[in-house]
Structure 1
Amino acid sequence: MKQSASRSGIPLNPLAFIRKYDELWTRMLFLLGALIVYRLGSHIPVPGMNPVSLADFFQRNDNTFLGMFNMFSGGALERMSIMALGIMPYISASIVVQMMSAIIPSLEALKKEGESGRRTLNKYTRQGTLALAFVQAVGMSTGLIAGGLTLTTGLSFYIPAVTSLVAGSMFLMWLGEQITERGVGNGISMLILASIIASAPGMISQAFSQDMNLIVMMLFVVLGVAVTAGIVYIERAQRRVPVNYAQKQQQGRKVYAQQQSHLPLKINMAGVIPAIFASSLLLLPASLGQWVTVSENPTLSQEILQNISLVLQPGQPLYLLLFGVMIIFFCYFYTALMFNPKEVAENLKRSGAYIPGIRPGQQTKRYLDFVLNRLTFIGAMYMTIICLMPMIIQSVFNVPIPLGGASLLIMVVVLMDFIAQIQAHLMTHQYHNQTLVKSPNR
């Protein structure tokens, strides 16, 4: 009986069933522990802050860029914790390194060197993160002192504040890499998702606390469900390019039948990266301008930064224009980094495959490039509409919207990727167990 039970794949006891998914359980526990550490760290304040003045300042600037930056940091900025900078320096450094790797031949060659090249690019990204975090920490500390939000001034505040902020940002970068390697899902995306989820209840309660018509609330709920369903539909949509393989002759007179397959091309191949990149790039100059210009008697340079910060507030025409343009640009840019039609065409030609009606080689490359450009255009328009629609509705109708389009898009896409990775781990375990059952040596 025991032998038949083991060969049928049924665990002999509950402990064996739990042990069956031991690796996935370990990864889930690591992810949970990392997120708990992140949330605990977001409540550790920077030394020398005045909590009363800080709370009053953020209450007056709730609907500005500081409010959006605070949401992406999970409330760490409002509490001025050691993780107030969040992972934005790392994202900005990643943008710079990826853009440079597309135009600098030496960096482009590193991408083709495999694991060693990837480690070198990661080293450059970490160094860029350190530099950007230091610059942002100094600017933030200067703004805090100028706004009278600190208990001390001078080096007695600069040294502990800058050190704490830079250390917090570098720790988040390391934590995100550890989640990617030892947890489930992309580490940076999971940290952003945790920040948005932590800020969402307060934003929703604040929106519902205002005088809003019940019908308007119901319309927003229905609109949110419809937008979420649309995001799921588009993210799962694919353009399947048919691929045929040439006939192969076997020994004797038997010939294999022509094999048919397809090349799946997603409509939104860039995922949520363009929205994150565009948000981080727009947050950087506006947030620095907001911090530097809080003094009562600003200089000429501070007035210029103040004007830039005002015109780049969410909902302003210049902000909407730049945000949309950046999303479209990063959709094309990141798609070009992920999918190279020339390499795909060469791989198909070497494997004896071809697209029906298209000659192998250069014509296949041009055809894939044409299809990819059309799909990327549709994906860029979809992402731009999702991200800008709530801001336009809020500006035109003056109705508070608890979650922005970029936040909703990030939440849905990251959760879909998280569920897909869990399913992949489950399938791996199932395949491994079936192999063990069928093996005669087990």
Structure 2
Amino acid sequence: MKKLLTTLSNIWKIEELKGRILFTLMILVIYRLVCQVVLPGVDPAQLSNEQKSGLLGLLDMFAGGAFSKASIVALGVMPYISASIVVQLLGIAVPTFQKMQKEGESGRKKLTQYTRYLTVAITIVQAVGYVKTQITPEAIVIDHTIFYFLSAVVLTAGTLFVMWLGEKITDKGIGNGTSLIIMVGIIARLPVAISQEISSVFAGNDGGLIRLVLEIVALYAIIMFTILIVQGVRKVPVQYAKRIVGNKQVGGVRQYIPLKVNAAGVMPIIFAQALMFVPSALIGLFPNLQESWLHQYSDITSLTYSLTFAFLIIAFTFFYTAITVNPTQMSDDMKKNGGFIPGVKPGLATSSFIDEVISKITFPGSLFLAAIAILPSLAVKVGIQQEFAHFFGGTSLLILVGVVLDTLQQIESYLLMRHYDGLMKTGRVTGRSGVPTVTSTSGAAL
């Protein structure tokens, strides 16, 4: 406890760090207040209180409940993330975008601007779909035509405002703004989830306090295991040849390439979840399919759903890793800088070696993602309330772990620069070196 109090005191002594933390907290409070503002023309009492599931549940979780409340920021930062993913994929497949990625700061600014334009386009489309499908006609108290137009404009402005808040946190606050906004939205649901679980545990005869303690212990163990895996890297040694530059000798040192065990991040889960939502959507459009085999895919606790979900995650993990990690480029960059892997010839042999290492570590990484993804359904199966079960795995847990580690790493860097002790007694917080992320074109890890 004394170590913790000393560290907190040291943090408060650094004026720049204190200012950044207070600024971040202020922006996050503003965001949470805006989440409570309902779209103009909507009667909140007429909104459906039915809990969202599938992809809609994921969107509602990322938006901190604003999605189900018909808030002016109901779409949150998801359109921006979608636009960032599209631009990132274009940077892999389209030569023009590849060229911009290699242009340094000027290229990055161009890609950021394209991402913003694409965010507006995606938000307009999603806003129209949102008001058409998620807001019942009974809840609309003004002319429907005017409401649909007004809501599309307001929701687009709301998403751009949230995106601006995230950029301000990244520039003047601590941590990554977009990630922190998503994390706050997820944490905002934690108190309600815990209260529901406590009420459920003590209402029945299933163990009461003992069961609640066991659930907390299990959640703690899962979080620790998640941190262990997402931080895991395979270090490939790289030796740099000695060179004489002027009167100085440079090079001749050994460094390491940290290859992530989970290089694909949370994207395989998001892609797989989107596909698993298709059967439910078909049943909604064609009610006569309710009794067909598709019904098994609308129940997240069914064995068929879990196995299919896990298979899709494993497949998407290999796919996304293949398109985002380029062994050939890594080999070429290494060769240009006079580096080589001991015992491996430069060029094609190095590229093949790196590709083989990535393939070997991607398999256990994909199994880990699959296990994390189906843990919430297993938690529901053993009697844990669905709201609380979301925190036992899935995208929410991975994002929480990643953002917390990233923020702690930045705080520790400020402490070490001012010659204070770090946040840990031994070692250092390594941040998100192995955390699943999507890197936007503006350099933000989502």
Alignment match of 2:263 (pick from 252, 255, 269): 269
* C-alpha distance in structure 2 between counterparts of 1:139 and 1:257, whole Å: 57
* C-alpha distance in structure 2 between counterparts of 1:264 and 1:194, whole Å: 30
Alignment match of 1:29 (pick from 22, 26, 42): 22
1:400 has 2:385 as partner: yes
Residue 403 of structure 2 aligns with which residue?
414
Specify the code of the residue in structure 2 equivalent to 1:221: I
Q: CA deviation at 1:113?
A: 1.8
Describe the superposition over 1:18-62 as per-residue Cα deviations: whole angstroms up to 9, x where unpaired.
9973332232222112111111110111112122221xx22x345
8 Å Cα contact 1:200-1:403 kept in structure 2 = no
In 2 relative to 1, CA 331–190 (structure 1 residues): closer, same or farther, beyond 3 Å?
farther
In 2 relative to 1, CA 43–319 (structure 1 residues): closer, same or farther, beyond 3 Å?
farther
1:219 has 2:214 as partner: yes
Alignment match of 1:101 (pick from 82, 88, 91): 91
Specify the code of the residue in structure 2 equivalent to 1:219: L
Q: Which of 215-224 and 369-378 deviates more?
A: 215-224
Describe the superposition over 1:77-134 as per-residue Cα deviations: whole angstroms up to 9, x where unpaired.
2322101111111122222222232222222222222222222222222222212211
Residue 296 of structure 1 aligns with which residue?
none
Instruction: Point out the structure with max Rg over C-alpha.
Output: 1
Residue 172 of structure 2 aligns with which residue?
182
Q: CA deviation at 1:164?
A: 1.6
SS of alignment partner, residue 242 of structure 1: strand
SS of alignment partner, residue 148 of structure 1: helix
Alignment match of 2:363 (pick from 369, 372, 377): 377
SS of alignment partner, residue 73 of structure 2: coil
* C-alpha distance in structure 2 between counterparts of 1:110 and 1:81, whole Å: 37
Describe the superposition over 1:339-360 as per-residue Cα deviations: whole angstroms up to 9, x where unpaired.
4322332233333332221112
In 2 relative to 1, CA 324–121 (structure 1 residues): closer, same or farther, beyond 3 Å?
farther
1:43 has 2:32 as partner: no
The percentage of counterpart residues that share the same residue type is: 38
Alignment match of 2:347 (pick from 361, 369, 394): 361
RMSD in angstroms over aligned alpha carbons?
Answer: 3.7
* C-alpha distance in structure 1 between counterparts of 2:244 and 2:168, whole Å: 49
* C-alpha distance in structure 1 between counterparts of 2:414 and 2:73, whole Å: 32
Tell me the number of residue pairs that the alignment of Structure 1 and Structure 2 aligns.
401
* C-alpha distance in structure 2 between counterparts of 1:134 and 1:310, whole Å: 33
Instruction: Mark the runs of 5 or more structure 1 residues left unpaired by the alignment.
Output: 1-16, 294-299, 432-442
Specify the code of the residue in structure 1 equivalent to 2:116: R
* C-alpha distance in structure 2 between counterparts of 1:86 and 1:278, whole Å: 21
8 Å Cα contact 1:69-1:283 kept in structure 2 = no
* C-alpha distance in structure 1 between counterparts of 2:243 and 2:185, whole Å: 54
* C-alpha distance in structure 1 between counterparts of 2:66 and 2:360, whole Å: 40
* C-alpha distance in structure 1 between counterparts of 2:43 and 2:148, whole Å: 15
Instruction: Mark the runs of 5 or more structure 2 residues left unpaired by the alignment.
Output: 1-9, 421-446
8 Å Cα contact 2:262-2:362 kept in structure 1 = yes
8 Å Cα contact 1:285-1:309 kept in structure 2 = no
Q: Which of 118-127 and 140-149 deviates more?
A: 140-149
In 2 relative to 1, CA 82–348 (structure 1 residues): closer, same or farther, beyond 3 Å?
same
TM (norm. structure 1) is: 0.78
- Which structure 2 residues correspond to residues 20-419 of structure 1 after superposition, within 5 A? 21-54=14-47, 57-58=48-49, 60-61=50-51, 66-144=56-134, 146-210=136-200, 211=204, 212-214=206-208, 215-246=210-241, 259-275=253-269, 281=274, 311=297, 314-315=300-301, 320=306, 323-324=309-310, 327-328=313-314, 331-332=317-318, 335-336=321-322, 339-394=325-380, 396-401=381-386, 402-404=388-390, 405-406=393-394, 407-419=396-408
In 2 relative to 1, CA 310–385 (structure 1 residues): closer, same or farther, beyond 3 Å?
closer
Q: CA deviation at 1:233?
A: 1.2
* C-alpha distance in structure 2 between counterparts of 1:96 and 1:390, whole Å: 28
Residue 5 of structure 1 aligns with which residue?
none
In 2 relative to 1, CA 320–117 (structure 1 residues): closer, same or farther, beyond 3 Å?
farther
* C-alpha distance in structure 2 between counterparts of 1:161 and 1:62, whole Å: 21
* C-alpha distance in structure 1 between counterparts of 2:225 and 2:99, whole Å: 39
Specify the code of the residue in structure 2 equivalent to 1:426: L
